[in-house]
Amino acid sequence: MSYLRRGAQDGHSRVVSLIAALIALLGLTAVATAAVGGYDDGGSRLDCAAENSVRECVYDEPVTTIATGPTGFTNDNTPTFGFSSDQEDVEFTCRIDGARIAKCGPSFTTETLASGEHSLSVFARSNGHTPDTTPAERDFTVDTTPPVTTINAGPAGLTNDSTPTFAFSSNETGSTFQCKVDGGAFGPCTSPRQTSNLGDGAHTFYVRAIDQAHNVDATPASRSFTVDTTPPSTNITGGPSGLTNDGTPTFSFNSNEAGTFQCRVDNGSFGGCASPKTTSPLAEGSHTFVVRAADRVGNVDPSPATRSFTVDTRPPNTTITSGPSGSTTDATPTFAFKSSESGGSFQCRVDGASYAGCASPKTTPPLGVGPHSFSVRAIDQSGNIDPTPAVRGFTVERSR
C-alpha cells in the first residue's frame, strides 16, 4: 500500500488528474502512466497507479518506534532491539553512538559494546524513499561489572544477641541486596538487617549486592559469629560463713565460664572484682557477700552466689568462779570458770606453762609446795581470745 504526501501538493494533483483523464479519452493511457504516473527517486521506479487512476508519487513520512530493547542499565553488551512503523513497506536505518548502520531492522543486535553510556537512533524510510525526519532514540548504559558488597557493622565472634543486626553497603549506588543466614535461601533485604531469632551456636550472615544492570556480586560478603545467650554459674569457694572475727574478710570464687565478676556486700551496688576479694572494714553484726559472674559476651548470672556471715571482733570476758585462793593444802586444786559469751572454749595454764585447751571445772596436775597461779582465758565462737585472762594465785602448803 502506497502512502502519498498531502497538503501543498493537492492542487497539483487535481491538475494532473484532469490531464490524465483527457489523455485517456484520446487513447493515450500508457503514455500518461509513463509520463505522470511514476515517481523516480535515484533510479528506482515505483508503480503509483491503482484502479485505473493516477496518484502522485510523493510518499507520507513514516513514524518510527523502538518497540523492544534495553533502556537505562543493562548487563548485555550485545543488546537486541526491535523496531516498528506505522507503515508497512519500510526499511530501517540505525546509528549506534553516531555510527550509521544501514538496513538494521526490524530486529537488530549490536556488536559487542564497551561498558559505559550508549545511544541508539533509528528511522524508517517509506518504500525505501521518504524518511522519518524525527528518528526514534534510546539511551542505555552497558555495565557488565558486578558490584562489591561490604558488611559495615554487626557481631563477629561471640554475641549474646539472638537477633543480631547487620549493616552493609555496595560500591555502586542504586544497588539492591539479598541476604541469608547459614544455609537458608537468599532473599531481598535492606540495610540495616535484623535476623530472625537464632539458637545458641555458630552462625554466618551472608549478603550480596545487585546493581542497576542486574549484575550480582558473585562473592557475597559474610560474617561468622556465635550466639551465646546462656548465663554463667558462680560459686564461692572460700571465705567465712557464720561467725568471724575478721572485720575485712576475704572470699574466693569462680565460674564455669571465662569472663569477669561483680561483687557487693549487703545492699551495696555491684562493682567489678576479682578472686580473691577482701572486703572493706565491716561493722559488727550480720553481713552477706554476693558475687555474680559475667561471661565474655556479657551474659550475667541471674542467681548470684551468696555467703552470709557475722562479724564479731569483741573478745569474751573470763571469770574464775571457784577454786583456792591464798593458802591450800590441796596439791591438785580444782578451779571452775565461765565466759561472758556462750558456745566458746577455754584455755588454761598453771604458772608459766603454755596455754592448753581445758573445760570447767579444771583440776591441776600435782603441784609442789609453794606459790602457784592458775590462769584461764575464754575463746568465743568467732575465735576472739580474751586478752586479759582470769588469774587466781594460791600457795600449796604441807598438810599437818
Task: Give me the mean pLDDT over the 76-89 stretch.
Answer: 94
Which pLDDT value is given to residue 102?
A: 82
Q: Which of the pair, 322 or 103, is modelled with greater confidence?
A: 322
Phi, psi dihedrals of residue 117, rounded to the nearest 5°: -85, 140
Correct CATH for 149-227 of 2.60.40.10, 3.30.465.10, 3.40.630.10, 2.60.40.420:
2.60.40.10
Phi, psi dihedrals of residue 256, rounded to the nearest 5°: -80, -5
Tell me the pLDDT tens digit for each residue of 171-206. 999 999 999 999 999 999 999 999 999 999 999 999
Tell me the pLDDT tens digit for each residue of 298-311. 999 999 999 999 99
46 pLDDT exceeds 70?
no
**Which set of grid coordinates corresponds to residue 113?**
559494546
33 pLDDT exceeds 70?
no
- Residue 118 contacts residue 80 (beta carbons within 8 Å): no
- Please tell me the CATH superfamily of domain 234-311, with its number: Immunoglobulins (2.60.40.10)
Say what the pTM is: 0.64
Which pLDDT value is given to residue 40?
A: 36
Of the candidate ranges 49-63, 133-147, 240-254, the one whose mean pLDDT is the lowest: 49-63
Correct CATH for 318-396 of 2.40.340.10, 1.10.1760.20, 2.60.40.10, 3.30.1490.270:
2.60.40.10
CATH code that applies to domain 64-142: 2.60.40.10
**Which set of grid coordinates corresponds to residue 70?**
534495553
Only one residue has cell 574478710, namely 249
How remote is the C-alpha of 11 from its chain's centroid? 81
pLDDT above 70 as % of the chain: 85
